[in-house]
Structure 1
Amino acid sequence: MGDELIANGSSRDGDLMPAQSVVDELWTYLDTSGAQRPARLPEWEDVQELAKEYGVTL
């Protein structure tokens, strides 16, 4: 995720992505347990492992 998006919401190629679009994609990703995953987001299994390490329930 961090590799594709810069903090201000722009991609490496400089195209700006509206914050609402980023939030919508992330919400869909979380709501579908990763079944609908934009390429810039990690595999769901990786998210589950990281969440477990930090004691976060998904």
Structure 2
Amino acid sequence: MALVARPRDAVERFFGDWELLEPGVVPVSAWRPDETVESPEAAYYWAGAARKP
């Protein structure tokens, strides 16, 4: 299995017209963290969740 790095806008397109939940598509370390993250941009992966209409 290969890892395919994608820019944020490409990951957002996977969600189509679904309603993105807060905080949207963000670096994984910034997805509802328990503690403040100093540099969320340091993460290599994107995270997001959405509601299907």
Fold agreement, TM-score > 0.5: no
Structure number with higher relative contact order (C-alpha < 8 Å, ≥ 6 residues apart): 2
Higher share of residues assigned helix: 1
* TM-score, normalised by the number of residues in structure 2: 0.29
Higher share of residues assigned strand: 2
